[in-house]
Amino acid sequence: MNAIAQRVSTAGARPPRPPSGWSHLKTLIPYVLRYKGMAVLGLIVLALMGIVGALPQLIIGAITDCLRSAPEPLSTLTGTARHLLHPLFAFYAPMNKHTLGWYCVILVAVMLVKGFFSFWSRWILIGMSRDIEYDLRNDLLARLLDLDPEFYARNRTGDLMSRATNDLNAVRMVLGPGIMYTANTLATMVLAIYFMVKLSPILTLWVLVPVPLVALAVRYFGQVIHRLSEQIQAALGVLSTRAQENLTGIRVIRAYAQEKSEIAAFDEANRDYVGVNIKLIASWSMFFPALAVLIGLTVVILMALGGIRVINGSISLGTFSAFYAFLIQLTFPMIAIGFVTNIFQRGAASMGRLKYIMEARPNIRNEMLTETGARQAPVDGNGQPGQRESSAALAPEPSIRGEIEFRNLTFSYPTGKNGETVRVLSDISLHVRAGSTLAIVGPTGSGKSTLAALVARLWDAPEGTVLIDGRPIREYSLSELRRGIGYVPQDTFLFSDTIRENIAFGTAECIEEQVLEAAEIASIAGEIQGFPKSFETLVGERGITLSGGQKQRTSLARAVLRQPKILILDDALSSVDTETEERILRRLREVMSQRTTILIAHRISTVKNADQIAVMREGRLIELGTHEELLALNGYYADLYQKQLLEEELERE
């Protein structure tokens, strides 16, 4: 299955039926089963609370009959129900202070026990929902870290953040309050209706007449709420994206004086979000009054028909009081139906958005080879479908030496509009010896960075077109391949942490001397030691407190510290001056002599000492050779060299 869900439309075809809320929520079953012990215990406590919660109504009825001098309490209550409640009625006596006192004490005790069960049911079930939320959040992050650049090219960061926060919280509400209120509602309704039938079957039949109308109202408004909840979460994703982009690009916005236009764009997204919420509020405004009318109708029916039966002597006033108390007890479940409907519909809509991420599968996955050479099913970074990257049945994986070969490589990005591909490389054939340096130059958009990304397998090249040490790159596990590569991308990224942690990122164990040595090679150690907190200085979000050159050199130190077999520098020195560049290259030559290096740059001074230089243009390899050989060709490289010499002379003048 492709990682990105795509809509396929056919002329004249019926549009696919949207998935139901249950189809989304059933994804949570495996998570609930992890805590089945807590879930069962919580439901048992809820059932006990429901049983205890039925006693106050019966006690109130018995007290009323005691005060009315009825010969026996709740006379219409017969059969098993009366037998089970015999201890409660054993000491009954009409107009007796002792009986009245005991019933009052029992009523207080019952309410305390009910409160005790209510506390523990919430503690257990809400606690379980937090544990499941913890698991979901971890699984969601693991999936996000495992997905390809293609996924992030198609999805905005703000929307993904909205799914990981607001949608996850809505799902947690289903697992906590949703389950708790649903179970509580069912237990309360079953026991209340059971005792109402026992007290007066005829009255029960009449007061339950509006129930089908309640079911219809819940179904209709549930569908409306589900649809609006999906729209709300989508609008919130757009709003989050807008806020995230504005905060990330605040310096650009201020530099171009675009505050007003960005505020207007945010205001539009904000109004869309508020508008959909108002539609949901309007639905709620109709739903609860409709429920109130139906609940009021049942009370009117009871007062009319029940009052007549009390006057006729068919039932006692105590029975009527108990019946009325049970009917009032049913009011909360009826209201809870609306509340639970909202929780489940919102949760279902949010789970559908989370499933989009959870069910996405990376296209770049490990492809195992057995001892016989047969290829096994792909296994992604989360171990799907296999759980381990290696076993006794798999051939041992030799360490990477660093020989790289491109064989008739043609590559297209799968991120064009409407599923179209965008070709960026055409028929590239190139061999890089282990321990040598390959420099790549060419105009912007010629495919230099793409070529480097394919070596790190950030994008998947066609099978058999990229080889390392004579083996197709897909035969290496992702972990081994990327452990053997130090990659400094064009877009330097630093974490909101100390400089030391940023340099040591990706290195399991390193000592202070190694961090310092890597920083010295990158020619940034002196500047770091000049900071008040030296290597413990916080760099801020995305390294905002450092200059562009400092960020590049910190990223370079990070790659050098890994001591990789393949070092990829993608325009890694573009933000430093020529003098600093020369100093860094002198220190790097010793490092580069021990490993294969791919050096992408625009300056000839950066690449002239490489073992071979590849010149690319419009996705094709147009020239290849050493610095002297390319100058002798008098082609694109020689022309570029002459232009840069002229620029340097003009700068000196």
**Under a CB-based contact definition with an 8 Å cutoff, are residues 375 and 369 in contact?**
yes
Write down the pLDDT at residue 543. 66
Select from 257, 263, 271 the least CA-distant residue to 243: 263
Q: Find how far residue 479's CA is from the centre of its chain.
A: 23
Average pLDDT (480-489) is 85
Cβ atoms 188, 332 nearer than 8 A: yes
Select the more confidently predicted residue: 422 or 29.
29
Residue 151 phi, psi (nearest 5): -60, -45
Q: How confident is the model at residue 2 (pLDDT cuts 50, 70, 90)?
A: very low
For 206, 249, 496, the CA distances from 246, given in Å and listed in that order, are 60, 5, 18
Residue 353 has φ and ψ, to the nearest 5°, of -70, -35
Q: φ, ψ for residue 415 (rounded to 5)?
A: -120, 20
Angle at 572 between CA 570 and CA 578, to 5 degrees: 130
Lowest mean pLDDT among 216-230, 462-476, 509-523, 586-600: 216-230
Q: How far apart are CA 107 and CA 622, in angstroms?
A: 92
491-563 matches 400-484+564-653 in CATH topology: yes
Instruction: State pLDDT tens for residues 395-408.
Output: 344 478 888 999 99
491-563 falls under which CATH superfamily?
Answer: P-loop containing nucleotide triphosphate hydrolases (3.40.50.300)
Mind listing the pLDDT tens digit for each residue in 450-483? 898 898 888 888 888 999 988 898 888 888 888 8
For 147-178, where are the alpha helices, taking DSSP H only? 149-154, 157-162, 168-173
Q: What confidence tens digit (pLDDT) does each residue in 99-145 have?
A: 888 989 999 999 999 999 989 998 999 889 999 989 998 998 888 88
Residue 387, pLDDT score: 39
pLDDT at 302: 83
560 HSE (CA, 13 A, CB side): 27
- Cα separation values, 626 from 408, 561, 623, 641, Å: 22, 29, 10, 13
Nearest to 164 by CA among 317, 358, 335, 382: 358
Angle at alpha carbon of residue 206, lines to 205 and 212, rounded to 5°? 80
Q: What's the pTM value of the predicted model, to 2 decimals?
A: 0.70
* Neighbour count for residue 417 (Cβ, 10 Å): 6
The helix (run of H) or strand (run of E) holding residue 412 is strand 404-413
Amino acid 383: pLDDT:
40
Residue 57: per-residue pLDDT: 86
DSSP string, 541-588: GGGTTS-HHHHHHHHHHHHHHT--SEEEEESTTTTS-HHHHHHHHHHH
648 compared with 297, residue with greater pLDDT: 297
Per-residue pLDDT band for 14 (boundaries 50, 70, 90) equals: very low
Contact between 134 and 168 (Cβ < 8 Å): no
Distance CA 445, CA 207 (A): 75
What pLDDT does residue 652 have? 62
- Give the side-chain half-sphere CA count within 13 A for 145: 8
CA 547 from chain center: how many Å? Answer: 32
End-to-end C-alpha distance for the chain, whole angstroms: 62
pLDDT value for 529: 84
Element (H, E) at 517: helix 512-521
Helix, strand, coil: what percent of the chain each, to 5?
60, 10, 30
Q: Is the pLDDT of residue 626 over 60?
A: yes
Please list, in sequence order, all residues whose beta carbon lies within 8 angstroms of the beta carbon of residue 354, skipping any fewer than 6 positions away: 136, 140, 163, 167, 168, 171
Position 92 scores a pLDDT of 84
Q: Check residue 651 and give its pLDDT.
A: 63
Q: Give the separation between CA 41 and CA 173, rounded to whole angstroms.
A: 19
Q: How confident is the model at residue 41 (pLDDT cuts 50, 70, 90)?
A: very high
No. of helices (H) and no. of strands (E), the chain: 26, 10
Work out whether strand 471-472 and strand 466-468 pair parallel, antiparallel, or are unpaired.
antiparallel
Q: How confident is the model at residue 420 (pLDDT cuts 50, 70, 90)?
A: low
pLDDT band at 10 (very low <50, low <70, confident <90, very high): very low
CA distance 632 to 116: 90
Domain residue spans of the chain? 21-358, 400-484+564-653, 491-563
Q: Are 481 and 473 in contact (CB under 8 A)?
A: yes
- The continuous run of DSSP H or E covering 623 comes out as strand 620-625
Model confidence at 392: pLDDT above 60: no
Please tell me the number of Cα atoms within 13 Å of 147 on its side-chain side.
Answer: 23
For the chain, state the CA radius of gyration.
36
Average confidence score pLDDT of the chain: 80
Report in angstroms the alpha-carbon separations of 144 from 135, 232, 348: 14, 23, 21
CB of 154 within 8 A of CB of 160? no
Residue-wise over 293-311: b if at least 16 C-beta within 10 A, else e?
Answer: ebbeebeebbeebbeebbe
Pick the CATH number of 400-484+564-653 from 3.40.605.10, 3.40.50.300, 3.40.50.720, 1.10.260.40: 3.40.50.300
DSSP H/E element including 102: helix 97-146
Of 118-127, 180-189, 503-512, 594-603, which range is least confident?
A: 503-512
What is the rounded average pLDDT of the residues 632-653?
A: 80
Q: Which amino acid is at 634?
A: N
CA dihedral for 348, 354, 359, 360, sign (positive or negative): positive
- For domain 21-358, the CATH superfamily is ABC transporter type 1, transmembrane domain (1.20.1560.10)
